[in-house]
Amino acid sequence: MDIFKNRRFIILGIFASFFVVFALHLFYIQIIDDSYEALANQNVIRNVTVYPNRGLIYDRNGMLIVENDATYEIFVIPKQVKDIDTALFCQLLAIEPQYFIDQMTKAKNYSRYVPSSFLKNLSVEQYASFQEHLYMFPGFYGDIRLVRKYPQHSAAHVLGYTGEISQKKLDAQSYYKSGDYIGISGLEATYEPFLRGHKGSKLILVDKFNREQGSFKDGIYDTAAISGHNLTVTLDIELQVYAEQLMQNKRGCVVAIEPSTGEILVMVSAPSYDPNLLTGRQRGNNYVMLQKDTLKPLFNRAISGGSYPPGSTFKSIMALMGLQEGTLQPYDVYPCFGGFRLGSHTVGCHDHVQLTDLSSAIQHSCNAYFCYVFKNIIDQSKFATSDEALAKWDSYLYSFGLGNKLGVDIPGENSGHVPTPKYYNNIYQKGHWKSSTIISLAIGQGELGITPLQMANMTCAIANRGYYFTPHFVKFIENDTTNFVKHYSGKNKTKVEQRYFDEVVEGLYQTVQAGTGRIAQIEGYEVCGKTGTVENPHGKDHSAFITFAPKVNPRIVVLAFVENSGFGATYAAPIASLVMEKYLNDTIAANRLFLEKRMIETDLIHPKVISSNEAP
Amino acid sequence: MRRRSLWADMDWLSVLLYALLVSVGWISIYAADFDGLRTGMFDLSTSHGKQILWVTVALVLAILIVIIDNKFYTTFAYLIYGLVMVMLVMIFFIGSEVKGNKSWFVLGGFSIQPSEFAKFATALAVAKYLSSQGANMKYWSTRFIVGAIILLPMMLILYQGDAGSALVFLSFVLVLYREGLSSWVLVGGGLFVALSLLSLAIDEKLYLVVGIVLVTTVIIYLLRKHIRIAMLVGAIAVSSIGYIYAVSYFFGKLKPHQKDRIEVVLGKLEDKKGAGYNLDQSKIAIGSGGFSGKGFLNGTQTKGNFVPEQTTDFIFCTVGEEHGFIGTMIVLGLFMALLARIIYISERQRSKFTRLYGYGVASILFFHIIINIGMTIGLVPVIGIPLPFLSYGGSSILSFTILLFILLKLDSDRLAVLR
């Protein structure tokens, strides 16, 4: 009766065939193909980078000058964001609505499921108030991030700054990942390998919203972050702050070095900036502001300013060369009738008393005297050509650390300029120049270019009577197995023998005792020094002063260089001597406080503005 | 006429399979719901807690179904059908929208989905009509009326926006086939689905056309002695080619997100975080289970909530991930055993009504199982319909319990029924 009864088998067959296909497919994806297992792990196991503490930096007296500050970074997972009070959100984070829109669009374009960075460098206080409302903003969460903090607000050029690694550097290596912080300038850049420490990693289980569910297999695959090495530097931060104060509202620099070690105690480049400006949220804006500033606060004049001629401070080197070459005797006297004339070449001189010997020539900074010294060196009969003579002259300069990079441990150093025979051959043609052509080199003018650090270092060589240590900032690196510091322990000898130095040092001593540098006298110390006034074709002359004390076994060398300020004795000498006094005595003598006040208050940058109200 | 205890002739094997499936479902819901904090089994704030409540309600309902006289179902088959159809219409006026589908009644704290109940109501109505005097699939009138009984709820549900539930009614084709619907319909249906998928999967339609022409030529050559059948095959081939172009034309008119879903299933689109997200994560969950699974409550995909709707439509993932190939085979085995048992039960009836109803039950369950599991393993597009007895949800567990227990009740009285 039921002719279709057999169709039950067809129906059962249809059922069974589907089940068999499913079973085979399940067999394939569950047993044969193991790629799903890898995908599942990729899903839930997040490899989280644990950032180490960056090494701290202390000054020579153990004072903390660079530390780490906790900030927060806000992340967003666009998929989870819904129904949030955008106005309140923007208000809590102090952002513009447009920023919110831009960041959300950026995040969405990147991925709707994967977190994107939304806002960086939120202070702990700001994050705290935001965190209270975090429950109202699904899809947002914060994560801690360490940034640099400079409690002394000082030494910006030396310390340098950190920032996110550039794409170019990123491509060249494998340790850093996009968004990692790296030292970009100053000590932060040089000692990056020590300061950075080593990143750790941990595997954590997360859910699809990236919420942590605990560590993977109780952390057996995790590696701890290793903190960076702490660094002790040679700076005397109190002295640095004081020098910066003296240099405020001026252009120029101050460099102080301990000559017996080459340790740099102070390096000021003015105008400077607070290093804290280049950390935190406003970093980008501040950087642009500093970069646009016509006074170039980001520029480290102390090592990068290669265009300064040394001026009269160079005369001591001239004298030392003459003595070493035997063309100058300490008791030599040359005529000075208000200058030096040779053919059409004239070098003017200022009024001074009758000279009696070399040290009185230094003391009174007689230009004519040193023109003769220079001419006698270059025109020696043992030299066949001017080329040969100048090459010899250059080699002396090189031995004093001029004309080449010194190798200080911060980037950006300029080599300065010591003119070579080839240089003059290019200008005048070979054989068409002689000592009189290049006579301005005698008094540290002309084509000479010396960085302030080189000038301070040259003074160290004089103070040490014939040698210097490469100037440097590193004093001690914690747990450093490579003993990096020893790179700076080698003596660099000058080509002038020790016995010739005493005459010159005596001249420098007399300069301060009774010459152009009298303002630099410090009670109880035999201070040596030399003023320099650097002719500046673009404006008012630069004022320079090199000094060291005590005369025997000197403890400190100071160079002050103040742009467009006139005579060396006006600003450079008082500033250098105040820094020196502060270092030697820890305090400024009562009778010199007026000087300190005047230096601090002097403003050489901002032109006086006469208010219209005061106008008659 | 024998009159024995209500329970004596109950098909206890089916009840056991039912109980096992519900248990597997509850364990999987517990695992999918588990958030690391152990809460009580009966915590009503959790899905597994609520599911216990629903299962209890379902059991009470099952007992009621068994207690009620079997004539109730035959007598009131049309009335039940009619009531559900009225509910489906009323939904347009007083229904509530849940997840984009306006297919729910919200009464107090409970929501009911009438489309779930339309399944057993339609099964009853189809059985009632086809077992009535004079109904025969030979006649166009019978075909037309039975078609209308099936298409009415289907269209109403489709109009609510719940395409998944509407498609379930296509499964009645198997019931009609058992009762004499031409094999051509089944073959035609298969051809229809195959051609649709192929024309979407293959961009260069010309290859498809060349393929059809080649196959047809071979078939016509083999059937050259039977001119009429050969001509029919030729006609089918021509209309198939036309159909292919029609499909690609209409596919072009679809909305982008609909296109995406189809293309992901066909493997033409790799979009792991977009339309393919559900599918991809669900496949990863099952695939990463391996042979014996990651262990109860140790599924990383499950724990991390990577698979959406995991207590409801994607419950099979939990089984696959935590219990592996063994788990999936047990669940497939239980379902296959239940379906085979239902066919066996249906065929042992003297009552045509019960047999028809039984086939209806088997077809509905089969369709749900194939679409749901097929979707979790990436063989079928994502169509949101629950896995019978396993998925979390009141309407789902209640409607499948009613569906099955009406059959078991009718079956337990098979010896009492003469007709």
Chain-centre distance for alpha carbon A191: 12
Q: How far is B305 from chain A (nearest CA, A)?
A: 6
Pairwise CB contact (< 8 Å): A8 & B347: yes
Residues A295 and A362 in one domain: yes
* Contacts across the A-B interface (CB distance below 8 Å): 123
Q: Given this model, what pLDDT does residue B264 score?
A: 62
Question: Nearest CA to A252 among A445, A549, A541?
Answer: A541
Q: How far is A152 from chain B (nearest CA, A)?
A: 47
Residue A29 in domain = no
Could you identify the residue written with the tokens 């035999």? Answer: A526
Residue A352 in domain = yes
Neighbouring-strand partners of residue A366: none
Q: List the single residue in B with minimal CA-CA distance to A211.
A: B304
Q: Given this model, what pLDDT does residue A614 score?
A: 39
Helices (H), A269-418: 283-292, 301-304, 315-325, 358-364, 367-378, 386-399
> Which residues neighbour B365 within 8 Å (Cβ) at sequence distance 6 or greater?
B335, B338, B339, B342, B388, B400, B403
Q: How far is A101 from chain B (nearest CA, A)?
A: 22
Q: List the single residue in A with minimal CA-CA distance to B352.
A: A2
Residue A472 in domain = yes
Check residue B97 and give left, alpha or beta (phi > 0: left; psi -120 to 50: alpha).
beta
Distance in angstroms (rounded) separating the CA atoms of residues B380 and B70: 38
**pLDDT over threshold 50, residue A612:** no
Pairwise CB contact (< 8 Å): A208 & B306: yes
Window 98-157 of B, Cβ < 8 Å to A: none
* Chain A residues inside the 8 Å CB shell of B362: 11, 15
Encoding tokens for residue B188? 């035609």
Residues A153 and A267 in one domain: no
Residue A191 in domain = yes
Neighbouring-strand partners of residue A542: A534
Residues A116 and A91 in one domain: yes
Question: Nearest CA to A532 among A372, A315, A375, A374?
Answer: A315
Phi, psi (rounded to 5 degrees) for A347: -120, 120
**pLDDT over threshold 70, residue A207:** no
Pairwise CB contact (< 8 Å): B179 & A4: yes
Q: Given this model, what pLDDT does residue B129 score?
A: 93
Residues A352 and A394 in one domain: yes
Whether chain A has a CB inside 8 Å of the CB on B316: the answer is no
* Alpha-carbon separation of residue B206 from B149, B198, B199, B211 (angstroms): 40, 12, 10, 8
Q: Given this model, what pLDDT does residue A613 score?
A: 44
The whole-chain average pLDDT of chain A stands at 86
- ipTM topping 0.90: no
CB-nearest to B304 from A31, A33, A44 is A44
End-to-end CA distance of chain A: 130
Distance in angstroms (rounded) separating the CA atoms of residues A141 and A147: 19
Phi, psi (rounded to 5 degrees) for A562: -120, 120
Encoding tokens for residue A350? 């200022």
Distance in angstroms (rounded) separating the CA atoms of residues B313 and B393: 10
Which among B35, B284, B364 is the top mutation candidate for probing chain A, defined by the most A β-carbons within 10 Å of its own β-carbon? B284
> Domain total for chain A?
2
Residue A20 in domain = no
Give the confidence band of A169 by pLDDT, cuts at 50, 70, 90: confident
Could you identify the residue written with the tokens 């001249």? Answer: A507
Question: Nearest CA to B300 among A42, A221, A29?
Answer: A42
CB-nearest to B287 from A16, A33, A113 is A33
Residues A119 and A142 in one domain: yes
Q: Given this model, what pLDDT does residue A200 score?
A: 85
* Chain B residues inside the 8 Å CB shell of A11: 174, 177-178, 343, 359, 362
Pick from A233, A252, A268: which residue ends a domain? A233
Write the DSSP assignment of A481-532 as a string of letters.
TT-GGGGG--EEE-SS-GGGHHHHHHHHHHHHHHSTTGGG--TTS--EEEEE
Give the confidence band of A616 by pLDDT, cuts at 50, 70, 90: very low
Encoding tokens for residue B189? 């249906």
Encoding tokens for residue A322? 């003459």
- Which of A131-135, A588-592, B360-364 has the weakest average pLDDT? A131-135
Helix (H) or strand (E) holding A469: strand A467-469
CB-nearest to B324 from A30, A35, A111 is A30
* Alpha-carbon separation of residue B89 from A291, B86, B93, B102, B103 (angstroms): 73, 5, 8, 11, 10
Residue A500 in domain = yes
Give the confidence band of A531 by pLDDT, cuts at 50, 70, 90: confident
Pick from A180, A202, A233: which residue ends a domain? A233
Local structure of B39: helix, strand or coil: coil
Q: Given this model, what pLDDT does residue B79 score?
A: 94
Residues A180 and A275 in one domain: no
Pairwise CB contact (< 8 Å): A16 & B366: no
Residue A441: DSSP 8-state: G
Pairwise CB contact (< 8 Å): B287 & A40: yes
Encoding tokens for residue A193? 């390998």
Residues A349 and A428 in one domain: yes
Q: How far is A83 from chain B (nearest CA, A)?
A: 17
Pairwise CB contact (< 8 Å): B332 & A15: no
CATH number at A197 reads 3.90.1310.10
More confident call, A211 vs A535: A535
Length of chain B in terms of residues written: 419
Question: Nearest CA to B123 among B347, B400, B414?
Answer: B400
Residues A111 and A247 in one domain: no
CB-nearest to B288 from A36, A112, A206 is A36
Question: CA dihedral defined by A557, A563, A564, A568, rounded to 10 degrees?
Answer: 10
- Which of A74-78, A99-103, A490-494, B322-326 has the weakest average pLDDT? A74-78
Whether chain A has a CB inside 8 Å of the CB on B290: the answer is yes
Pick from A180, A200, A233: which residue ends a domain? A233
CB-nearest to A30 from B325, B343, B370 is B325
**pLDDT over threshold 60, residue A610:** no
* Chain A residues inside the 8 Å CB shell of B359: 11
Structural domain span for residue A123 = 47-233
CB-nearest to B273 from A16, A112, A213 is A112
Which among A12, A28, A36 is the top mutation candidate for probing chain B, defined by the most B β-carbons within 10 Å of its own β-carbon? A36
Residues A80 and A228 in one domain: yes
Q: Given this model, what pLDDT does residue A81 score?
A: 80
Whether chain A has a CB inside 8 Å of the CB on B407: the answer is no
Distance in angstroms (rounded) separating the CA atoms of residues B351 and B63: 22
Phi, psi (rounded to 5 degrees) for A172: -90, -5
Which among B336, B346, B348, B369 is the top mutation candidate for probing chain A, defined by the most A β-carbons within 10 Å of its own β-carbon? B336
The mean per-residue pLDDT over the stretch A589-608 comes to: 85
Pairwise CB contact (< 8 Å): B288 & A37: yes
CB-nearest to B328 from A8, A30, A43 is A30
The percentage of chain A sitting over the pLDDT mark of 70, rounded to a whole number, equals 94
CATH number at A579 reads 3.40.710.10
Encoding tokens for residue A462? 């004089």
Pairwise CB contact (< 8 Å): B304 & A205: yes
CB-nearest to A43 from B291, B306, B324 is B306
Work out whether the CA dihedral A104, A106, A111, A117 comes out positive or negative.
Answer: negative
Distance in angstroms (rounded) separating the CA atoms of residues A192 and A162: 9
Pairwise CB contact (< 8 Å): A30 & B300: no
Residue A189 in domain = yes
Q: Given this model, what pLDDT does residue A56 score?
A: 93
Residues A409 and A482 in one domain: yes
Is residue A271 reached through a cis peptide bond, with omega within 30 degrees of 0 on the bond before it? yes
Distance in angstroms (rounded) separating the CA atoms of residues A351 and A339: 9
Q: List the single residue in B with minimal CA-CA distance to A37.
A: B288
β A212-215/A200-206 pair status: antiparallel
Distance in angstroms (rounded) separating the CA atoms of residues B112 and A569: 97
Question: Nearest CA to A442 among A331, A268, A550, A321?
Answer: A321
Q: How far is A12 from chain B (nearest CA, A)?
A: 7
Are A256 and A580 a contacting pair, CB within 8 Å?
A: yes
> What residue segments make up the domains of chain B, in order of their start?
12-180+268-412, 204-264
Pairwise CB contact (< 8 Å): B305 & A36: no
Pairwise CB contact (< 8 Å): A22 & B373: yes
Q: List the single residue in B with minimal CA-CA distance to A25.
A: B377
pLDDT digits (tens, 9 = 90+) for A408-466: 999 989 888 899 989 888 888 888 888 888 888 888 888 888 899 999 999 999 999 99
Pairwise CB contact (< 8 Å): B288 & A206: no
Residues A129 and A268 in one domain: no
Identify the contact set of chain A against chain B, taking CB-CB distances under 8 A.
3-5, 7-8, 10-12, 14-16, 18-19, 21-23, 25-27, 29-31, 33-37, 39-41, 43-44, 111-113, 205-209, 213
Largest CA distance in chain A: 148
**pLDDT over threshold 70, residue A307:** no
Whether chain A has a CB inside 8 Å of the CB on B167: the answer is no
CB-nearest to A22 from B303, B343, B374 is B374
Taking 50 as the pLDDT cut, the residues of chain B under it are: 1, 271, 273, 275, 419
Encoding tokens for residue A146? 């360490």
Pairwise CB contact (< 8 Å): A30 & B335: no
* Chain A residues inside the 8 Å CB shell of B336: 15-16, 19
Window 23-82 of B, Cβ < 8 Å to A: 36
Distance in angstroms (rounded) separating the CA atoms of residues A277 and A300: 16
**pLDDT over threshold 50, residue A167:** yes
Pairwise CB contact (< 8 Å): B343 & A8: yes
Residue A89 in domain = yes
**pLDDT over threshold 50, residue A598:** yes
